[in-house]
Amino acid sequence: MHRQIVTLREIAGKSMSAAPWLNWIEQPPPKGQVAGSNPAGVTNTPRGVRAMLRGASAGIGTGRRLVGDIRRFRLDLGVTNPHWRNMAQAYLHIDLAAIQANWRDLAALCGTNVQTSATVKANGYGLGAGRVAHALARAGARRFFVALAEEGVAVRAVLGPELPIHVYGGHMEGDAQLIAEADLSPMLNSAEQLARHFETLPGHPFGVQLDTGMNRLGMEPAEWQAVAEIALSQRPDLIMSHLACSDEPDHPMNAQQLASFQHLTEGCGVPRSLSATGGILMGPEYHFDIVRPGIGLYGGAPFTGARPVVQLSIPVIQIRELQAGESVGYGNTFTALQDMRIATISAGYADGIHRALSGKATLWAGDVACPLVGRVSMDLLTIDVTNVKGTPEMLDLLGPHQSIDDLAGVIDTIGYEILTGLGHRYARRYSAAD
């Protein structure tokens, strides 16, 4: 149902009693008055204005939606005054066109005889599996991979009934209904999963995952040899394995796994897949019939030619002047050696910003580097903005000057962890896909 959008000016026309509040809301606070405090002569507290606006809006179909605080007014009533932009919610900008471009670039490395699929597990690496999968399907992806059956259900709802969706985790106990209703193809990882699938969903599509040395998921060689005849008689749609060291092209494990996979699958008559992003970059001998890029789609290593996908912009809540000798944050772990300006911004470890970044990370105000000082706390970071001219509204943790892998390197982790850990409190803003 189409929801009518109104402005506070329109509401004020319905109720003159709302006008004092309206003027206060639309203008920045006078010098010396704290933003959010009650100006003289205005009905006390947001509850008072809610009562006024509830009655004033009764005739324009939005009365019930007006019961809320001033933030709700801004979101639901279309207030566009720039003084309201510094709300305490960070923005995660997601470039869907960049994801599409990265998929096309990886597909071009494989040629037309290899199908380039897409891995959208972990909610599309934290960026929204639905939006990501839809963009990739438009770019040309015709096969998708997820980790769990529940993830597959969500992706199926976006893609429709035709494109295959494989589940890396296989057929777990209790998954039969989800697999059947969403028409998922589980990658069976053991003889136990094989038996479960054939008993509960006879004739339903499936694939097989083999362990070629990673010792994580998949049937080991002896197990596969014992059940291969039975499994192949049921016509699996894919046989796959996964490389342990593809981010290190010269690692001997890669050649070892390649040889093992070739030995276990030679002449099977089933489409085969060994490589994700790293394997794609190692060349045609690793490509087989289907490749399954993941992190490379989202701008991460080892695909150094990837286009950046995310920018994380965090709003400044407050800026204070710090005098030499004063400390910042929990534990007094940072003490100013000179006078400086400190910005407190609205994100913390509850949003996936690792506490290990305390005193180590750098944020950016345009092209100006701004060190994180003191500890990362649950909801807040304190940033040195002494060298920033004027008053910044936002600081970037991820963006043109710092990729997910750059930030990961600060604390000796990987871009995957940075990306998939980005919290649910960020307002996700998507660019238009091609």
Judge whether 326 and 336 are in contact, CB under 8 Å: yes
Judge whether 146 and 167 are in contact, CB under 8 Å: yes
For residue 302, is the peptide bond before it cis, meaning its omega torsion is within 30 degrees of 0? yes
Q: Which one of the listed residues 91, 121, 389, 416 is annotated catalytic?
A: 121
Which single residue is written with the structure tokens 């534990």?
A: 331
Q: Which one of the listed residues 31, 330, 416, 430 is annotated catalytic?
A: 330
In the numeric block, which tokens belong to residue 145? 């991979």
CB neighbours of residue 367 within 10 Å: 7
Among 262, 267, 268, CA closest to 288: 262
Active site residue 389: no
Residue positions counted in the chain: 434
Biggest CA-to-CA distance, the chain: 85
Number of H helices, E strands in the chain: 15, 19
Radius of gyration of the chain (CA): 27
Active site residue 330: yes
Judge whether 76 and 306 are in contact, CB under 8 Å: no
Question: What pairing do the DSSP bridges indicate for beta strands 381-384 and 340-345?
Answer: antiparallel
DSSP 8-state assignment for residue 248: S
User: Which of the residues are catalytic?
Assistant: 121, 330
